[in-house]
Amino acid sequence: DTAVSQTPKYLVTQMGNDKSIKCEQNLGHDTMYWYKQDSKKFLKIMFSYNNKELIINETVPNRFSPKSPDKAHLNLHINSLELGDSAVYFCASSEISGGAEETQYFGPGTRLLVL
Amino acid sequence: AQSVTQPDIHITVSEGASLELRCNYSYGATPYLFWYVQSPGQGLQLLLKYFSGDTLVQGIKGFEAEFKRSQSSFNLRKPSVHWSDAAEYFCAVGDLPNTGFQKLVFGTGTRLLVSP
């Protein structure tokens, strides 16, 4: 019973392509997040959504567009992929709407390699 | 701005020895502090968190951490390390920006290697 799942697990693609990563959580949480982990393992938030509404957008390029069709899903679409987009992308979710003490539950990650 | 520093990039510990991973934070208000672990090829899992009360926090897998406000630290400890503890460990502070929703700010991580 995977709590936060992501597909695909691996993604290898050429520069300039458009790709999507899907995330689903079956925890009944209200808030979902996308993080980017670079080659040095540095983890940085990109977006967060609460009940399908965008809450946080951390100055991510417009080529990245999150979409939340319902509160259990948060997908990430990336246009015109660049070499620097190569990273591991993590989806996460948390239960309560608001509160700095909340626990976030992470998916297994999607390893994106742009050639 | 809030920030988290993990001064040790790598640490090697013998199996059965004790462990301490350092974490320092910079945050204006009462910090909400977390330790997450990332096993190879896996997502992050919460080990423990502090947001109020007793400054010594117990977590899963035998880990504990102590919040020291005077030192702006939240170091992670384990009395006896097992080979399965080899992983990347991330300290984080939970910020509550004007959106009212949590934003986690992570340190750069410490890779723990366990030698036989």
**pLDDT < 50 regions, chain B:** none
User: What is the pLDDT, as a whole number, of residue A97?
Assistant: 62
Closest to A112 (Cα-Cα) out of A41, A13, A42, A45:
A13
pLDDT attached to residue A77: 96
Positions of E strands within chain B: 3-5, 10-14, 19-21, 24-26, 32-38, 44-50, 56-58, 64-68, 73-78, 87-95, 103-106, 110-115
In this prediction, residue A81 carries a pLDDT of 97
At residue B50, the pLDDT reads 92
E strand or H helix at A34, and its extent?
Answer: strand A31-37
Residues 6 or more apart whose Cβ sits within 8 Å of residue A65: A76, A77, A78, A79
Q: What is the pLDDT of residue A54?
A: 87
Q: How far is CA A100 from CA A50, A53, A104, B110, B115, in A?
A: 14, 19, 11, 23, 36
User: In percent, how much of chain A has pLDDT > 70?
Assistant: 96
Percent helix, strand, coil in chain A (nearest 5)? 5, 55, 40
In this complex, the residue of B42, B45, B104 whose CB is nearest that of residue A45 is B104
Strand partners, A70: A73
pLDDT exceeds cutoff 80 at A40: yes
Q: Over chain A, what is the mean pLDDT?
A: 91
Give the pLDDT confidence of A65-115 residue by residue, as tens digits.
999 999 899 999 999 999 999 999 999 999 866 677 788 999 999 999 999
Among B19, B20, B9, residue whose Cα is nearest residue B74:
B20
CB nearest A41 (choices: B49, B97, B108): B108
Contact, A107 vs A91, CB < 8 A? yes
Q: Choose, out of A5, A102, A105, A111, the residue to mutate when testing the contact with B (most B CBs < 10 Å).
A: A102
Q: Are strands A4-7 and A104-106 parallel, antiparallel or unpaired?
A: unpaired
Q: Residue A58: its pLDDT value, please?
A: 83
CB contact (8 A) between residue A104 and residue B90: no
pLDDT for A1 equals: 62
Q: Which amino acid is at B78?
A: K
Q: Do B43 and A44 touch (CB under 8 A)?
A: no
Distance CA B18, CA A51 (A): 43
- Out of B95, B106, B111, name the one closest to residue A100 (CB): B95
